[in-house]
Structure formats: C-alpha cells, structure tokens
Amino acid sequence: MRPILFDIFGWGVPSWHFFFVLAALTAYGVAAASARRLAQAGYDAAQEFLSELSQIFIVCYVSGWFGARALSIWVEQFEVRTLPQFIEALFSFGPMTFYGGALAAVLCGCAYVRWRALELKSALDCGVVGGVFALGVGRVGCFLNGDDYGAAIGNQSEPPWWAVRFDVLQDGGLYRYPVQLEETIASLLIGCFGFYLLRRFYFLESAASTARPARAGHTAAWVALLSAAHRFVNEGFRGDPRGLFFGTQISTSSGISLLIVVFCAYCLVRLQRTSHSVASTREDT
C-alpha cells in the first residue's frame, strides 16, 4: 500500500496521520453544515452550538487524540506498566484506537457543551453525524498504511477480486478481507442516513417555530447505534490484535460496540417517551 502518502521538502507525510487530520476536518465541516442548516430554519439551539463550534472542535480534537492513544496503550503496549511510562507513551507518537478517541471526544465535548449551557441533544445530533463521516475518511488512511487489517481469507489459491494484500505486514502476501474500505463505505452510508434523520426529525416532524424539536437526540442515538452494530459485525473479519474485553473471547472493540448498542437502544426508548410527552403537550396547548 502507501504508508507514506507524499513527501514535502524531504519530509514524508504518513498516510494515517494525514487522514486523521482530514477526518477531524470532515467532522467539523459536516457538523458545521448541519448546524447551519438547522439554524437557518430557525432553531436557536443550533445557532448557539454553531457559535461555539470552533472551541468544541478543539476540545474534541485534543481529547480524541489522547483518548485514542490511551486505549491503544492499554490494549497493545503491554510493556507500559507504570504511571510514568503511561504518561510518556501518551505524549509520544504511536498506534491509536478509534473507540478511545471517539469516546473521549464525545465525553469531553458533552462536558464542554453542558458547561457552556448549550442544548446537548441538538449538538449531539450534528456532532455524531460529523463523527461517522470522519470515521469513513479515517479508515482510508488505515487502509493505505496497512493498519486495522482484515483476517486472511480461506482460499488463498483462488482469491476473490475484492481481496487485498499488505506488503508492510510481511505475512507472505496473504489475501485478506478489505475491512477498512468496507467500514469506509458503511460509515458514509450511515452518515447519509443521519442527514435523512436530521431532515425528518427537525423539518418534517417538528414545528418550524420551536427552538427545541421534540425528537432532538434521536439522530445521534440512531447513528451511533448503527455504527456500533456494524463495527461489531466488522470485528468478526478483523485480523489485527485488539486485546480481549475483560477476560472474554471477544475483542475490546467488540465489547465496546455491544455496550454502545445497548446504551443507544436505552436512549432511544427514553427519547421516544419524551417526544411523545412533548407532542401531547403541544396538542393540548
């Protein structure tokens, strides 16, 4: 593949880090476009979120970087045993894990949004849709770098047309599942579905005069649930070591995916009850 994407004045730009930055910018751009569209429709909460988006982006970017490093250290770098070693590894370049970055960015981003007294559900709707598009972009870098590769296919003598090989693995040229590109396609499709949900929940089912739509938060919950469910399936075709989830036989990412699916399903039930209550109140009014 292409671990070094291109050279600038003799300095090689790694594919993975280039697409990490590009993914972050994609998340910012999609979140900004979503919030701007909602703000133009008259939703005050989206306008307030948009005014703070640059600061939120910085908080999420920095926390996401360190979160991605922290989880990767935990599941991959077993030589790190003490707190000083952990801190040293945290501030050094090395492998990064998507879920570590995503969870840290969401938690810190939500904390900042609440601290600034912004409307959390609408912010999550815009931010999570941006995040799933970012995942799709970032996986292209993983593919070019040979990271997060798939398991070897069964029939190496007659590989299907979609099978791929990674010279950087030095595995004898095994044909593998292209799980990175498959996750890119799935993430982009889920992101497009997120756009549809934003339109449905904010424009088709909400009164244009309300500053807080009755179904705010549903988009974030659905997008996160679908993304985690897909990741759980995708993990079955992965071939790289990712650690085990608290002594079980499933990977760390699979375990986190299951927890996210359960949590999002719970959130959807709660949000559905809340939206029915709001809708009933409007009808009574």
Residue 124 in any domain: the answer is: yes
pLDDT of residue 25: 94
What are the average pLDDT values for consecutive 10-residue runs of the chain, which has 285 residues? 74 80 94 89 83 94 91 82 85 83 94 93 93 94 89 91 89 91 96 92 60 75 96 91 80 92 94 66 49
Q: What domain count does the chain have?
A: 1
Which amino acid appears at position 277 of this protein?
Answer: S
pLDDT of residue 20: 86
Structure token pair of residue 163: 């099978």
Residue 243 in any domain: the answer is: no
Could you give the C-alpha distances from 255 to 86, 91, 220, 246, 259, in angstroms and in order? 23, 26, 20, 9, 6
Range of the domain at 69: 7-205
Residue 154 in any domain: the answer is: yes
Structure token pair of residue 272: 């559905």
pLDDT of residue 96: 81
Q: Where would I find the H helices in 41-119?
A: 44-51, 53-76, 83-90, 98-115
Residue 252 in any domain: the answer is: no
Residue 281 in any domain: the answer is: no
pTM surpassing 0.75? yes
Residue 257 in any domain: the answer is: no
Q: Please, which residues have CB within 8 angstroms of residue 151's CB and are 6 or more apart in sequence?
A: 176, 177, 237, 238, 239
pLDDT of residue 208: 45
Residue 250 in any domain: the answer is: no
Residue 119 in any domain: the answer is: yes
- The end-to-end CA distance of the chain, in Å, is 62
